[in-house]
Structure formats: structure tokens, C-alpha cells
């Protein structure tokens, strides 16, 4: 958490969130930055400042250098396994308990939303903790890694194993985008948190919500292509602002709308 003053939340925003029946949050790498998981596009610290996505996160990269790709995801899997949800993840799980119809749509593969207690969750880009067969897509939970030249192989068919994440040039998991799209098209409020909004189709979701009349709230220390269409652009860290938003909207002793 920040050592600065609590983040000021406009009363109109707190009122809108409190009275909303359908809320969607769209998150990106920035929501996990304070958990120590690197973002992709931040100038100094982002992964794509140090690594070339075309050499690590495409089907062609996996064909050319499968072990390099396997190892890079293995490194990230270990990094994520050591990280813990931060105040923003926890606050989003609280929002789910307060709002009658809430969906969390994330581009993140780190599993930190689920670890914080979010349940109505769509992982648009997969989950780095999972591994699957590169040929059949079958999930695989145990494998032998005996040949340092190649990735481990599927115990069923012998094809290479790969991370269960979406690479550039690949389709999103079946149903995930449709569920997210339906939710944003019916949302009263859309919270867009920690995403550069540069990667499609996820980046189209806020435009869809705006066209359908949702209130758009962006939380990000930087401006993005979405800032211009946001009704509220809250500039700062997600770990400071999302808890402040929850505190302003549902003061601590207030009853939950879903409490019985
Ligand atoms: P990016 O790295 O593109 O953007 C991260 C955003 O988080 C930036 O706009 C930052 O300003 C913001 N940010 C940084 N620290 C923050 C903090 N503490 N609180 C809030 N915001 C913060 O990440 P994504 O938008 O998630 O896809 O990237 C989208 C996709 O591109 C990823 O899912 C991944 C990547 O290539 C695939 O791997 C397919």
C-alpha cells in the first residue's frame, strides 16, 4: 500500500458503483505489478522491453525453438508461484461479494485473482500454471523432463508439452471471449485496471461497454488509448486505488447486498 494519503474517490463514482447491478472488471498485467509479476510494456521493467515476443510467445517461436520457449515459461511459472495476491486482487474479490452480477475478465495468466478469492472469472489468455499437449490440447499435470534439448513430451501421444496460455496469432479459449463480450455489453459499470489496452480482442471490450452505455472507470498510473473514453480516469496504482474505491463505495460496516 502507498504511504501517501488515501486516494480520493468522487462521490458520484461511489454512488454509481454502489447502485450498479452488473459490473465487469477487465484487468491486465498492471494489477499484478505490486505482487512482483512483471508487466509487458512498461518501458524499463516490462518483459517485452527485454524479450522479443515473436521469439517467445508465438506458435512459430515454439516450432523453431521449443525448449527456449518451454524454459522461458518455466521461469515465469516459478516467478508467479512465488507471488501472492496484492490489495487490488483482494479488493476485486470483495467487489464480487458486493455486486449482484459481477464478472472479472483478466488477460493475466498468473492465477492471482483466483488466489485472492475471485470466482466469477474469465481468463482470456489461459493460465501459466497449466500445461497441455501441443497436439491434442489435453491437460497434463505430471511429466518427465529428461532431455534438456527438447520440452517434455505428452505421456499420451508423445508430442511436446506447452504452457496452457494464448500466444500471439492464436485464438482465445472457446467461450471465454463470448462470455466477456456478453458481460460488457450488459454492464452498468466497467472497471479497466492495469492494462495498456493495446492487445486485441481484449482491448475492444471497453469500447463495446462504452457503446452499450456503461460507465467506464480506468485505473492506471499511465494514460492509455482508453483514457479518452473513460468517464473516470483514476491515475495511480491498482493496489492503492481499488481498495480506496471499495472503502468509499461500501464503508467497512455496511452490509453486503449478497449477505443473507
Ligand atoms: P501491459 O504490460 O501492456 O500493460 C500494463 C499496464 O499496467 C500499463 O498500462 C501500465 O501503465 C499499468 N500499470 C503498471 N503498474 C501498475 C499498477 N501498479 N497499477 C495499475 N496499473 C499499472 O499489460 P497488458 O495490458 O496486460 O498477452 O498486456 C496485454 C497482453 O499483452 C498480455 O496479456 C500478454 C501481453 O503480450 C499475451 O501474452 C498473449
Do 157 and 254 sit in the same domain of this protein?
A: no
Confidence band (pLDDT; 50, 70, 90) for 257?
A: low
Do 221 and 117 sit in the same domain of this protein?
A: yes
Domain ranges, residue 200: 1-37+85-125+171-260
Residue 173, pLDDT > 80, answer: yes
142 Cα: distance to centroid of ligand 1 (angstroms): 31
In three state form, how does the secondary structure of 202-260 look?
HHHHHHHHHHCCCEEEEECCCCCCCHHHCCEEECCCHHHHHHHHHHHHCCCCCCCCCCC
Do 24 and 142 sit in the same domain of this protein?
A: no
Q: To the nearest 10°, the Cα dihedral for 131, 134, 137, 138?
A: -60
Q: How far is residue 231 from each of residues 108, 128, 194, 220, 224, measured CA to CA in Å?
A: 24, 33, 16, 14, 14
CATH at 250: 3.40.50.1220
pLDDT of 114-163, one tens digit each?
999 999 999 999 999 999 999 999 999 999 999 999 999 999 999 999 99
pLDDT of 4-44, one tens digit each?
457 899 999 999 999 999 999 999 999 999 999 999 998 88
**Exposed e or buried b per residue across 162-172, where buried means at least 16 C-beta atoms within 10 angstroms of its C-beta:** bbbbbbeeeeb
Do 150 and 252 sit in the same domain of this protein?
A: no
CA dist 56 and 161 (Å) reads 15
Tell me which residues have their CB closer than 6 angstroms to ligand 1. Answer: 28-30, 33-34, 39-42, 46, 53, 57, 107, 125, 166, 168, 194-196, 198-199, 220-222, 224, 237-238
Confidence band (pLDDT; 50, 70, 90) for 256?
A: low
Do 89 and 217 sit in the same domain of this protein?
A: yes
pLDDT value of residue 6: 75
Active site residue 182: no
pLDDT of 67-83, one tens digit each?
999 999 999 999 999 99
Do 134 and 58 sit in the same domain of this protein?
A: yes
Amino acid at each position: 500500500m502507498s504511504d501517501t494519503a488515501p486516494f480520493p474517490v468522487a462521490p458520484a463514482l461511489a454512488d454509481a458503483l454502489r447502485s450498479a447491478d452488473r459490473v465487469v472488471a477487465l484487468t491486465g498485467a498492471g494489477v499484478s505489478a505490486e505482487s512482483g509479476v512483471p508487466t509487458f510494456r512498461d518501458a524499463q521493467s516490462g518483459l517485452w522491453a527485454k524479450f522479443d515476443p515473436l521469439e517467445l510467445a508465438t506458435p512459430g517461436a515454439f516450432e523453431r525453438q521449443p525448449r527456449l520457449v518451454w524454459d522461458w515459461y518455466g521461469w515465469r511459472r516459478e516467478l508467479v508461484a512465488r507471488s501472492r495476491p496484492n490489495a487490488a486482487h483482494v479488493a476485486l474479490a470483495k467487489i464480487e461479494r458486493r455486486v449482484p452480477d459481477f464478472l472479472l475478465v483478466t488477460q493475466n495468466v498468473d492465477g492471482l485473482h483466483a488466489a485472492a478469492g475471485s470466482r466469477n472469472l474469465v481468463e482470456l489468455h489461459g493460465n501459466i500454471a497449466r500445461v497441455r499437449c501441443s497436439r491434442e490440447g489435453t491437460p497434463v499435470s505430471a511429466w518427465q523432463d529428461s532431455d534438456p534439448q527438447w520440452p517434455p513430451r505428452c505421456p499420451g501421444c508423445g508430442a511436446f508439452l506447452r504452457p496452457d496460455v494464448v500466444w500471439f496469432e492464436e485464438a482465445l479459449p472457446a467461450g471465454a471471449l463470448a462470455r466477456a463480450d456478453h458481460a460488457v455489453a450488459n454492464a452498468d459499470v466497467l472497471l479497466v485496471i492495469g492494462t495498456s489496452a493495446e492487445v486485441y480482442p481484449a482491448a475492444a471490450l471497453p469500447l463495446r461497454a462504452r457503446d452499450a452505455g456503461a460507465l467506464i472507470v480506468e485505473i492506471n498510473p499511465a494514460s492509455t488509448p482508453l483514457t479518452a473514453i473513460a468517464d473516470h480516469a483514476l491515475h495511480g496504482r491498482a493496489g492503492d486505488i481499488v481498495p480506496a474505491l471499495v472503502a468509499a463505495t461500501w464503508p467497512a460496516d455496511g452490509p453486503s447486498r449478497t449477505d443473507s
